[in-house]
Amino acid sequence: MIATNDIVLHIDHVHKTFAGLHALADVHLDIREGETHAIIGPNGAGKSTLLNVCVGVLPPTQGKVMFHGTELTGLKPYEINQLGVARVFQTPEIFGDLTVLENVMMAMLSHRDGAFRLKLVSRFDEQGEIGQRAIQALRDRGLGGHIYHLAGALSRGDKRRLELVMGLVQKPKLLLLDEPTAGMARADTNATIEILRQIKESGMTIVIIEHDMHVVFSLADRITVLAGGRVIAQGVPDEIKGNPKVIEAYLGEEQV
């Protein structure tokens, strides 16, 4: 599955402490070009914190994060996004007062025009090229019926799907997914796995945090297990399944 040995994301001995709490302790991790890398671990293991450090929400207490050789530490979230890192959040973050279509167009316009461009009077609408592409992207992901609805009124699962579309239309070099199926019914989860499989097949590098082992083992090329802020195991799915430390720390508790 892994095409090359190029390192997309290099997480270099990252520590993060919150007022004494060691949320991340010496996390060292490489994400390779084209792989789908799952990060699993019990609640509070530091998975979301790790993503937050990667996208510039939180500065690491120690260590650094390199993306294709560029140091991300100290960059603003928008700069990291402009470098080609898109993220889907654990709790959906969307523009609730904008329509679903506008949400997607926002993502496309920032990808096309950069972090700031003053376009005062050029009219945007769905007739334009961007609008048509946004509509197509929404239809492809099963949101065609909600195009003109306010994004804030979508169900939780649809909000997640919208976030995914917003990430994808930016054609990112790295897609970070924080529990993309949390709160979804089985059928929706399976549909999401199908979508993610297509994305994976397109060659995109994906980091996925996931609770649902069914999702993890359906998609992941490699798995990193976090517990108490530390990497306790790393390897291909079969290695992880048989690892006693993992079973103790995580799998047993979640009864796979």
Partner 1 sequence: MKHTSKLADIALLIGFAIVVALGPVIFTPIGAGYPDLLQKFAIYGIFAIGFNILFGLTGYLSFGHAAFLGVGSYAAVWSFKLLSMDLLPAVIASVLLAGLLALAIGFISLRRSGIYFSILTLAFAQMCYNMAYSVLTPITNGETGLRVLRNDPRHLDAAFGYVSPMPSLLGLQITGWTGFYICGAVLVAAFGLSIAIFRSPFGMTLRAIKSNQNRMGYTGYSSRPYLLSAFVISGMFAGLAGSLLAATDPLAGAERMQWTASGEVVLMTILGGAGTLLGPVLGTGLIKYFENIFSAYNEQQLTAMFAFLPDGVREAVVKTTGLFVGEGWQLTLGLLFMAVVIFLPGGIMEGINRLLGLKHTPKVKSLGDSPQRDGLGEMVIEEMPPSHGAAEADKKVAEQKNAEKKRAVAP
Ligand X SMILES: Nc1ncnc2c1ncn2[C@@H]1O[C@H](COP(=O)(O)OP(=O)(O)O)[C@@H](O)[C@H]1O
- The footprint of Mg ion (CB under 5 A) covers 48, 90
Binding mask 138-167 for ligand X (x = CB under 6 A): ------------------------------
Give which of partner 1, Mg ion, ligand X, none residue 49 binds (C-beta under 5 to 8 Å, depending on kind): ligand X
Tokens of 159: 């909000």
The span from the CA of 192 to the CA of 68, in Å, is: 28
Residue whose structure tokens are 């399976």? 190
Question: Residue 23, interface with ligand X (CB under 6 A)?
Answer: yes
Among residue numbers 48 through 77, which ones bind ligand X (CB under 6 A)?
48-49
> What does each C-alpha distance from 71 to 10, 63, 75 come to in angstroms?
9, 11, 8
Question: Residue 208, interface with partner 1 (CB under 8 A)?
Answer: no
The span from the CA of 112 to the CA of 106, in Å, is: 10
Shortest Å distance, C-beta 97 to partner 1:
4
The span from the CA of 227 to the CA of 250, in Å, is: 8
The span from the CA of 83 to the CA of 72, in Å, is: 9
The vertex-142 CA angle with 141 and 145, nearest 5°, equals: 135
Give which of ligand X, partner 1, Mg ion, none residue 157 binds (C-beta under 5 to 8 Å, depending on kind): partner 1
Question: Residue 45, interface with ligand X (CB under 6 A)?
Answer: yes
**Kind of pairing, strands 222-227 and 36-40?**
parallel
The vertex-61 CA angle with 74 and 177, nearest 5°, equals: 70
Cβ proximity to partner 1: between 28 and 76 the closer is: 76
Residues contributing to the site for partner 1 (CB under 8 A)? 43, 55-56, 76-78, 81-82, 86-87, 89, 91-99, 102, 105-107, 109-111, 113-126, 146, 148-150, 152-157, 159, 166, 170, 182-186, 188-189, 211-212
Residues contributing to the site for ligand X (CB under 6 A)? 18, 21, 23, 41, 43-49
